Amino acid sequence: MLVNSPLVGLLLLAASVLASASPLLARAASTDSFGLYAYGSGIGGLPVFYSDGYAYIGYGSPLNASSSANVTLTESPGDSTTWAASPNITTSSNATWSDKFFYVPSPQAPFHRVGFTSNSTSYQITSGFTFYGHFTFLVTSSGAWESLFYAKPTAYSGIWELMWNQTDEADSGVVPLTLKNSAPSTS
Ligand SMILES: *[C@@H]1O[C@H](CO)[C@@H](O)[C@H](O)[C@H]1NC(C)=O
Ligand SMILES: *[C@@H]1O[C@H](CO)[C@@H](O)[C@H](O)[C@H]1NC(C)=O
Ligand SMILES: *[C@@H]1O[C@H](CO)[C@@H](O)[C@H](O)[C@H]1NC(C)=O
Ligand SMILES: *[C@@H]1O[C@H](CO)[C@@H](O)[C@H](O)[C@H]1NC(C)=O
Ligand SMILES: *[C@@H]1O[C@H](CO)[C@@H](O)[C@H](O)[C@H]1NC(C)=O
Ligand SMILES: *[C@@H]1O[C@H](CO)[C@@H](O)[C@H](O)[C@H]1NC(C)=O
Protein backbone atom coordinates (compact mmCIF):
# COMPACT_ATOMS: atom_id res chain seq x y z
CA MET A 1 0.00 0.00 0.00
CA LEU A 2 1.01 3.58 -0.54
CA VAL A 3 1.54 4.47 3.06
CA ASN A 4 5.05 5.65 3.69
CA SER A 5 5.80 9.33 3.57
CA PRO A 6 8.66 9.27 1.01
CA LEU A 7 6.32 7.65 -1.47
CA VAL A 8 3.61 10.16 -0.78
CA GLY A 9 6.19 12.90 -1.29
CA LEU A 10 7.26 11.36 -4.53
CA LEU A 11 3.69 11.03 -5.73
CA LEU A 12 3.17 14.69 -4.96
CA LEU A 13 6.35 15.40 -6.85
CA ALA A 14 5.13 13.28 -9.73
CA ALA A 15 1.82 15.12 -9.62
CA SER A 16 3.61 18.44 -9.82
CA VAL A 17 5.67 17.16 -12.73
CA LEU A 18 2.42 16.04 -14.31
CA ALA A 19 0.92 19.46 -13.86
CA SER A 20 3.87 21.21 -15.43
CA ALA A 21 4.80 18.81 -18.22
CA SER A 22 3.18 18.40 -21.54
CA PRO A 23 1.47 15.01 -21.91
CA LEU A 24 3.83 14.34 -24.77
CA LEU A 25 6.72 14.52 -22.32
CA ALA A 26 5.16 12.11 -19.85
CA ARG A 27 7.64 9.44 -20.80
CA ALA A 28 11.36 10.01 -21.11
CA ALA A 29 12.66 10.05 -24.62
CA SER A 30 13.69 6.57 -25.59
CA THR A 31 17.37 6.07 -24.99
CA ASP A 32 19.47 3.21 -26.23
CA SER A 33 21.19 2.82 -22.91
CA PHE A 34 21.32 4.69 -19.67
CA GLY A 35 22.76 4.69 -16.19
CA LEU A 36 20.80 5.24 -13.01
CA TYR A 37 21.71 7.86 -10.42
CA ALA A 38 20.44 8.04 -6.85
CA TYR A 39 19.25 11.24 -5.22
CA GLY A 40 18.27 11.68 -1.60
CA SER A 41 19.13 13.60 1.53
CA GLY A 42 22.93 13.89 1.45
CA ILE A 43 23.07 11.79 -1.73
CA GLY A 44 23.49 13.97 -4.78
CA GLY A 45 23.30 11.65 -7.75
CA LEU A 46 25.51 8.68 -6.94
CA PRO A 47 25.74 6.10 -9.75
CA VAL A 48 24.15 2.69 -9.38
CA PHE A 49 26.71 -0.07 -9.72
CA TYR A 50 26.78 -3.85 -9.73
CA SER A 51 28.64 -5.88 -7.16
CA ASP A 52 28.32 -9.64 -6.91
CA GLY A 53 24.72 -9.61 -8.14
CA TYR A 54 23.51 -6.73 -6.00
CA ALA A 55 22.91 -3.05 -6.72
CA TYR A 56 24.87 -0.45 -4.79
CA ILE A 57 25.31 3.29 -5.14
CA GLY A 58 28.50 5.28 -4.86
CA TYR A 59 31.96 5.49 -6.37
CA GLY A 60 34.25 2.51 -6.01
CA SER A 61 33.03 -0.80 -4.66
CA PRO A 62 32.86 -2.84 -1.47
CA LEU A 63 36.49 -3.76 -0.91
CA ASN A 64 35.74 -7.44 -0.51
CA ALA A 65 33.63 -7.79 -3.67
CA SER A 66 34.78 -10.26 -6.29
CA SER A 67 33.14 -8.46 -9.22
CA SER A 68 31.99 -4.83 -9.42
CA ALA A 69 31.15 -2.57 -12.31
CA ASN A 70 29.25 0.55 -13.19
CA VAL A 71 26.05 -0.45 -14.91
CA THR A 72 24.61 0.40 -18.28
CA LEU A 73 20.94 -0.49 -18.67
CA THR A 74 19.14 -1.12 -21.94
CA GLU A 75 15.44 -1.56 -22.57
CA SER A 76 14.85 -5.13 -23.76
CA PRO A 77 13.61 -5.60 -27.31
CA GLY A 78 9.94 -6.46 -27.10
CA ASP A 79 9.57 -5.31 -23.48
CA SER A 80 10.88 -1.84 -22.80
CA THR A 81 9.99 -2.24 -19.11
CA THR A 82 12.56 -5.01 -18.63
CA TRP A 83 16.03 -3.55 -18.31
CA ALA A 84 19.07 -5.57 -19.30
CA ALA A 85 22.24 -4.68 -17.43
CA SER A 86 25.79 -4.79 -18.66
CA PRO A 87 29.06 -3.33 -17.39
CA ASN A 88 29.73 0.26 -18.47
CA ILE A 89 32.86 -0.46 -20.47
CA THR A 90 33.99 3.16 -20.21
CA THR A 91 34.66 2.82 -16.50
CA SER A 92 34.57 -0.92 -15.89
CA SER A 93 36.26 -2.52 -18.86
CA ASN A 94 37.41 -5.56 -16.89
CA ALA A 95 33.95 -6.75 -15.96
CA THR A 96 32.87 -9.88 -17.78
CA TRP A 97 29.29 -10.61 -16.75
CA SER A 98 26.32 -10.19 -19.06
CA ASP A 99 22.69 -11.26 -19.46
CA LYS A 100 21.49 -9.85 -16.17
CA PHE A 101 18.29 -7.96 -15.52
CA PHE A 102 17.54 -5.23 -13.01
CA TYR A 103 15.13 -6.42 -10.31
CA VAL A 104 13.38 -5.23 -7.19
CA PRO A 105 11.94 -7.62 -4.59
CA SER A 106 8.28 -8.56 -4.88
CA PRO A 107 5.90 -7.62 -2.05
CA GLN A 108 6.17 -11.20 -0.75
CA ALA A 109 9.96 -11.34 -0.84
CA PRO A 110 11.74 -11.98 2.47
CA PHE A 111 14.47 -9.49 1.50
CA HIS A 112 14.66 -5.84 0.48
CA ARG A 113 17.76 -5.66 -1.68
CA VAL A 114 17.73 -4.57 -5.31
CA GLY A 115 19.99 -6.41 -7.73
CA PHE A 116 20.62 -8.03 -11.05
CA THR A 117 19.59 -11.54 -12.03
CA SER A 118 19.97 -13.77 -15.04
CA ASN A 119 17.22 -16.11 -13.92
CA SER A 120 14.62 -14.33 -11.85
CA THR A 121 12.74 -16.07 -9.06
CA SER A 122 9.14 -15.32 -8.08
CA TYR A 123 10.58 -12.93 -5.46
CA GLN A 124 12.32 -10.82 -8.10
CA ILE A 125 10.36 -8.35 -10.25
CA THR A 126 12.16 -7.73 -13.56
CA SER A 127 9.47 -5.99 -15.61
CA GLY A 128 7.30 -2.93 -15.19
CA PHE A 129 10.09 -0.36 -14.96
CA THR A 130 9.59 2.99 -16.61
CA PHE A 131 10.41 6.65 -16.32
CA TYR A 132 8.25 9.58 -15.53
CA GLY A 133 10.37 12.39 -16.83
CA HIS A 134 13.76 11.29 -15.51
CA PHE A 135 12.31 9.47 -12.47
CA THR A 136 12.32 5.68 -12.25
CA PHE A 137 9.09 3.93 -11.32
CA LEU A 138 7.79 0.40 -11.12
CA VAL A 139 4.30 0.16 -12.59
CA THR A 140 2.63 -2.83 -10.96
CA SER A 141 0.15 -5.18 -12.62
CA SER A 142 -2.61 -3.26 -10.83
CA GLY A 143 -1.40 -0.02 -12.37
CA ALA A 144 0.18 1.55 -9.28
CA TRP A 145 3.30 3.66 -9.81
CA GLU A 146 5.80 2.83 -7.10
CA SER A 147 9.17 4.28 -6.20
CA LEU A 148 10.34 2.67 -2.97
CA PHE A 149 14.10 3.00 -3.31
CA TYR A 150 16.28 3.46 -0.25
CA ALA A 151 19.99 3.66 0.45
CA LYS A 152 21.36 1.60 3.32
CA PRO A 153 24.84 2.34 4.63
CA THR A 154 27.55 -0.29 4.23
CA ALA A 155 30.76 -0.72 6.17
CA TYR A 156 32.45 1.21 3.37
CA SER A 157 32.35 4.99 3.43
CA GLY A 158 30.38 6.48 0.55
CA ILE A 159 29.01 3.10 -0.58
CA TRP A 160 25.36 2.24 0.02
CA GLU A 161 23.25 -0.82 -0.67
CA LEU A 162 20.27 -0.07 -2.91
CA MET A 163 17.10 -1.25 -1.19
CA TRP A 164 13.40 -1.42 -2.06
CA ASN A 165 10.49 -1.08 0.36
CA GLN A 166 12.83 -0.91 3.33
CA THR A 167 10.75 0.59 6.09
CA ASP A 168 12.84 0.29 9.27
CA GLU A 169 14.49 3.66 8.72
CA ALA A 170 15.11 4.46 12.35
CA ASP A 171 16.90 1.15 12.91
CA SER A 172 19.27 1.04 10.00
CA GLY A 173 19.83 4.65 8.99
CA VAL A 174 18.33 4.14 5.55
CA VAL A 175 17.70 7.15 3.32
CA PRO A 176 14.75 7.43 0.89
CA LEU A 177 15.89 7.86 -2.69
CA THR A 178 14.69 8.75 -6.11
CA LEU A 179 16.47 7.08 -9.01
CA LYS A 180 16.93 9.13 -12.14
CA ASN A 181 18.38 8.38 -15.56
CA SER A 182 20.21 11.68 -15.49
CA ALA A 183 23.61 12.29 -13.91
CA PRO A 184 23.95 15.23 -11.50
CA SER A 185 25.49 17.61 -14.01
CA THR A 186 22.58 17.21 -16.40
CA SER A 187 19.69 16.85 -13.96
C1 LIG B 1 29.43 5.16 -18.69
O2 LIG B 1 30.39 5.86 -17.89
C3 LIG B 1 30.79 7.10 -18.44
C4 LIG B 1 31.87 7.65 -17.54
O5 LIG B 1 31.41 7.80 -16.21
C6 LIG B 1 29.60 8.03 -18.53
O7 LIG B 1 29.98 9.24 -19.13
C8 LIG B 1 28.52 7.37 -19.39
O9 LIG B 1 27.35 8.17 -19.37
C10 LIG B 1 28.18 6.00 -18.84
N11 LIG B 1 27.24 5.36 -19.75
C12 LIG B 1 26.06 4.88 -19.34
C13 LIG B 1 25.21 4.30 -20.41
O14 LIG B 1 25.70 4.92 -18.19
C1 LIG C 1 32.29 3.87 -11.71
O2 LIG C 1 32.82 4.99 -12.40
C3 LIG C 1 33.42 5.94 -11.54
C4 LIG C 1 33.89 7.07 -12.40
O5 LIG C 1 32.82 7.60 -13.12
C6 LIG C 1 34.55 5.32 -10.77
O7 LIG C 1 35.06 6.25 -9.83
C8 LIG C 1 34.05 4.09 -10.01
O9 LIG C 1 35.13 3.44 -9.38
C10 LIG C 1 33.37 3.12 -10.97
N11 LIG C 1 32.78 2.02 -10.19
C12 LIG C 1 33.01 0.75 -10.46
C13 LIG C 1 32.33 -0.22 -9.56
O14 LIG C 1 33.73 0.40 -11.38
C1 LIG D 1 31.57 -8.62 1.89
O2 LIG D 1 31.26 -8.24 3.22
C3 LIG D 1 29.87 -8.13 3.47
C4 LIG D 1 29.67 -7.60 4.86
O5 LIG D 1 30.62 -8.09 5.74
C6 LIG D 1 29.22 -9.52 3.29
O7 LIG D 1 27.82 -9.42 3.47
C8 LIG D 1 29.50 -10.00 1.86
O9 LIG D 1 28.99 -11.31 1.69
C10 LIG D 1 31.00 -10.00 1.58
N11 LIG D 1 31.22 -10.34 0.18
C12 LIG D 1 32.15 -11.19 -0.22
C13 LIG D 1 32.24 -11.42 -1.71
O14 LIG D 1 32.90 -11.76 0.56
C1 LIG E 1 41.91 -4.45 -15.21
O2 LIG E 1 42.77 -5.58 -15.03
C3 LIG E 1 44.15 -5.24 -15.09
C4 LIG E 1 44.94 -6.51 -15.03
O5 LIG E 1 44.44 -7.36 -14.02
C6 LIG E 1 44.50 -4.29 -13.94
O7 LIG E 1 45.85 -3.92 -13.99
C8 LIG E 1 43.62 -3.05 -14.05
O9 LIG E 1 43.83 -2.21 -12.92
C10 LIG E 1 42.14 -3.41 -14.10
N11 LIG E 1 41.35 -2.25 -14.35
C12 LIG E 1 40.27 -1.95 -13.66
C13 LIG E 1 39.53 -0.70 -14.06
O14 LIG E 1 39.86 -2.65 -12.73
C1 LIG F 1 6.64 -3.98 1.48
O2 LIG F 1 7.01 -4.95 2.42
C3 LIG F 1 5.94 -5.37 3.26
C4 LIG F 1 6.49 -6.38 4.23
O5 LIG F 1 7.71 -5.95 4.76
C6 LIG F 1 4.83 -5.98 2.43
O7 LIG F 1 3.75 -6.31 3.26
C8 LIG F 1 4.39 -4.99 1.37
O9 LIG F 1 3.43 -5.59 0.52
C10 LIG F 1 5.58 -4.54 0.55
N11 LIG F 1 5.17 -3.53 -0.41
C12 LIG F 1 5.63 -3.52 -1.66
C13 LIG F 1 5.08 -2.42 -2.54
O14 LIG F 1 6.47 -4.30 -2.08
C1 LIG G 1 16.51 -20.93 -13.33
O2 LIG G 1 16.02 -21.22 -12.01
C3 LIG G 1 15.21 -22.37 -11.95
C4 LIG G 1 14.65 -22.47 -10.54
O5 LIG G 1 15.57 -22.01 -9.59
C6 LIG G 1 16.07 -23.58 -12.33
O7 LIG G 1 15.28 -24.76 -12.30
C8 LIG G 1 16.62 -23.39 -13.74
O9 LIG G 1 17.51 -24.44 -14.06
C10 LIG G 1 17.39 -22.08 -13.82
N11 LIG G 1 17.78 -21.83 -15.20
C12 LIG G 1 18.98 -21.35 -15.53
C13 LIG G 1 19.22 -21.10 -16.98
O14 LIG G 1 19.85 -21.10 -14.68
Give the Å distance between the CA of 51 and the centre of ligand 6: 21
For residue 138, give the H/E element and its range.
Answer: strand 135-139
pLDDT at residue 65, rounded to an integer = 84
d(CA 76, CA 103): 14
Give the Å distance between the CA of 107 and the centre of ligand 4: 39
d(CA 152, CA 159): 9
d(CA 151, CA 174): 5
Give the Å distance between the CA of 141 and the centre of ligand 1: 31
What CATH code is assigned to 5-17+31-186?
2.80.10
Give the Å distance between the CA of 98 and the centre of ligand 4: 18
Strands (E), 10-128: 37-40, 43-51, 54-57, 68-76, 79-87, 100-105, 115-117, 124-125
With a cut of 70, list the residues of the chain below it in pLDDT. Answer: 1-31, 168-172, 186-187
pLDDT at residue 15, rounded to an integer = 40
Q: Which atom of ligand 2 is nearest to the CA of 60?
A: 9
> Do the beta carbons of residue 181 and residue 136 sit within 8 Å?
yes
Average pLDDT, whole number, for the chain?
83
Domain ranges of the chain: 5-17+31-186
Determine which residue's CA is closest to atom 10 belonging to ligand 3.
64
- 179 CB neighbour count, 10 Å cutoff: 22
Question: Which ligand has the minimum distance to the alpha carbon of residue 51?
Answer: 2
